[in-house]
Amino acid sequence: MKTRFETCKLHDCRDAFVMTLEELAETDNKVVAVCNDSVGSTKLGDFKSKFPERLINVGIAEQNMVGVGAGLANGGKIPFVCGAAPFLTGRALEQIKADVAYSEANVKLVGVSAGLAYGELGATHHSIEDFAWIRALPNIPVIAPADRIETIAVIKWAKDYDGPCFLRLSRVGVPDLLPAKHIFKLGKANRLREGENVTIISNGVLTHRTMIAADILASRGISCRVVNMACVRPLDAKEILAAASETGAILTCEEHTTFGGLGSAIAEVVVDNHPVPMKRLGVPGVFAPTGSANFLLDEFGMSPESIANSAQILMRRKE
Amino acid sequence: MLPFELRKIANTIRKRDLLAVYEAGAGHIGGEMSVIDLLTTLYFHTMSVFPDEPNHPNRDRFILSKGHTALALYIILSEKGFIPKEEISTFLQPFSKLNGHPNRVKVAGVETNTGPLGHGLPIAVGMALAAKLNGDSWRTFVITGDGEMQEGSNWEAIMAAAQFKLDNLTLIIDHNRLQQGDRVADTNNLAPFAPKLEAFGWDVEEIDGHDMQQICTALSPEKISPNKPKCIVAHTNKGQGISFMSDNVSWHHRVPNKEQYLKGMAELERAVL
């Protein structure tokens, strides 16, 4: 039998992003979008029709794109710098470091089709190192919303936040998971399901799979806590330590390499403060083979069934 | 301000720079001497800036993309009143606001943190775009080194500036013919710059980057071509003003010993202004 999260309607978070950006641009002419020829893949076509002067397409030139964003912020604009996540972060990493993070420029970086979203296109197009790269930089929050509700909340927050941030959006369909009136708070995770035996922490498209895994575990008599942790930096250490002390085991799931992402960040907090058994699921330090995003997530042990199994195996390590 | 007055200020700044490098035991003196006349003219003749309100929305914007010559900018900012003159003596000292590359968070008057080369021009394009979108009349200026133009990001920005018709943007290339390790001509020779920039749709002017009158004229608003970004190729000398440093590749970031310091200072004191 399928669980409730397997049968509900799925949404592309990019739609929620552009809809919200257009709303914000209607009421504040400081809001501008900057892109790298990616009007289609970032779904900025309607934005361009409504605000032709405020859609700045620099062409296929990511280093310039990020620098232009920093300059626009200096001139009083609120630039949302949008591009496919692997190129925005990988190609322009030094600009993100020097022009945005170190300069504390009010630039909103939006990495679209992040993670394994471009599955079949190959590892050049996978963005599974971006958490690690950007969370190593001071001053710049790293945020991966889980559904369209959280995406809307994060975009609204980003517009009002006085400083840089990196928002990581997928194109893989996900259902509504967060409460309809969710308000995003920087560094605050959301407990989507109470549980006592084990905690699963995830973000982005993995939170959907995690919720299904929790239903599977419940059917096996296991009480699993689910925490959606959109902020890879700053981390909600309080929620992590609550999970450690109250459930005694933490499983992390992410659409990212296991080297340096959400799981690593959580492990740092756990090891420093309250060591408990942990298991980190993700792409295990390899270039992924050919296949769709959903195929690859299954392949790397992140089907709901596999996540549930990993949680059970982890629980055996509890004292 | 008249050219002879600008020359006096530039001479004062060169002397302070030489002393600061000598005392700090580090710096990029060659490139500082080459850029000081350009900086002096920008800050004491061309640009509208507001030391009492450094973030005034209508200020002209300036980026020192060749950020390793930060000391020259710090001295200019101190002469303009953005930072105290005494602060220059803290250059490179522990916890000084004045590290080896400009920092906008720590130093009033700095617009963006530079250091890695090829970053300033893209940011300047964004600034100039913001002014256009706002309908503001302030201008954006950026100085790059000539070796720095080897960074590909500059050429991304050069394309964009022409595409966006940014006639409120001025790029000044400090063309002193030397980069850290060798002559530009013997490394990756981009010269001549003018035809390349012209081919990309820019309005280009070549000047003597140590002739205050020529710098003033080239920077004046009357010299703007509508709808075209402007590039000034400023022919300069690395180490300008100090004979044994001038056009000498070994003085990129060499530090003078006492004898060299005294000789250099004596030359700057005797300079005919």
Q: Say what the pLDDT of residue B240 is.
A: 97
Label residue A26 by pLDDT band (50, 70, 90).
very high
Q: Count the neighbouring beta carbons within 10 Å of the beta carbon of residue A39.
A: 16
Q: Count the neighbouring beta carbons within 10 Å of the beta carbon of residue A160.
A: 9
Q: Are A154 and A167 in contact (CB under 8 A)?
A: yes
Annotation marks residue A6 as catalytic:
no
Name the E strands within chain B: 61-64, 140-145, 169-175, 203-208, 230-235
The b/e string for A290-308 (b: 16+ C-beta within 10 A; e otherwise) is eeebbbbbbbbbbbbebbb
Range of the structural domain that residue B181 is part of: 3-270
User: What mean pLDDT is predicted for residues B218-224?
Assistant: 96
β-partners of residue B230 are B170, B203
B14: amino acid identity, one letter: R
Gap from A30 CA to chain B (nearest CA, Å): 9
What count of CB pairs under 8 Å joins A to B?
109
Q: What is the ipTM of this complex?
A: 0.96
Q: Are B143 and B63 in contact (CB under 8 A)?
A: yes
- Average pLDDT of the residues of chain A: 96
Q: Are A105 and A273 in contact (CB under 8 A)?
A: no
Q: How, if at all, do strands A198-202 and A250-257 pair?
A: parallel
Q: What is the pLDDT of residues B114-137, one digit of tens each?
A: 999 999 999 999 999 999 999 999
Label residue A319 by pLDDT band (50, 70, 90).
confident
**B194 three-class SS:** helix
Q: Say what the pLDDT of residue A238 is.
A: 98
pLDDT at B10 over 80: yes
Label residue A282 by pLDDT band (50, 70, 90).
very high
Q: Say what the pLDDT of residue B106 is.
A: 97
Of A237, A270, A249, the C-alpha closest to A197 is: A249
Q: What is the pLDDT of residues B57-110, one digit of tens each?
A: 999 999 999 999 999 999 999 999 999 999 999 999 999 999 999 999 999 999
Q: Count the neighbouring beta carbons within 10 Å of the beta carbon of residue B228.
A: 18
For chain A, the domains span 9-168, 190-315
Q: What is the pLDDT of residues A119-149, one digit of tens each?
A: 999 999 999 999 999 999 999 999 999 999 9
Residue A94 and residue B119: Cβ atoms within 8 Å?
yes
Residue B127 and residue A66: Cβ atoms within 8 Å?
no
- Average pLDDT of the residues of chain B: 97
Gap from B124 CA to chain A (nearest CA, Å): 6
Give percent of chain A above pLDDT 90: 95
CATH classification of the domain holding B116:
3.40.50.970
**The two structure tokens encoding residue B109:** 């008057």
A9-168: in CATH 3.40.50.970: yes
Q: What angle do CA A74, A78, A83 make, to 5 degrees?
A: 105
Task: Exactly one of A26, A53, A62, A299 is catalytic; name it.
Answer: A62
DSSP string, A95-156: HIIIIIIITT---EEEEES-BTTTGGG-GGG-B-SHHHHHHTSTT--EE---SHHHHHHHHH
Residue B57 and residue A76: Cβ atoms within 8 Å?
yes
Residue B133 and residue A54: Cβ atoms within 8 Å?
yes
Q: Count the neighbouring beta carbons within 10 Å of the beta carbon of residue A214.
A: 27
Give percent of chain B above pLDDT 70: 100
User: Which DSSP helix (H) or strand (E) runs through A225?
Assistant: strand A224-228
Identical fold between A9-168 and A190-315: yes
Report how many domains make up chain B.
1
CATH number of A190-315: 3.40.50.920
Q: How far apart are CA A91 and CA A87, in angstroms?
A: 5
DSSP-derived letter for residue A53 is: G
Q: How far apart are CA A8 and CA B72, in angstroms?
A: 63
Query: Computed over its alpha carbons, how large is the radius of gyration of chain B?
Result: 17
**The two structure tokens encoding residue B62:** 């300036």
**A63 three-class SS:** helix
Of B111, B126, B136, the CB nearest to A72: B126
Give percent of chain A above pLDDT 70: 99
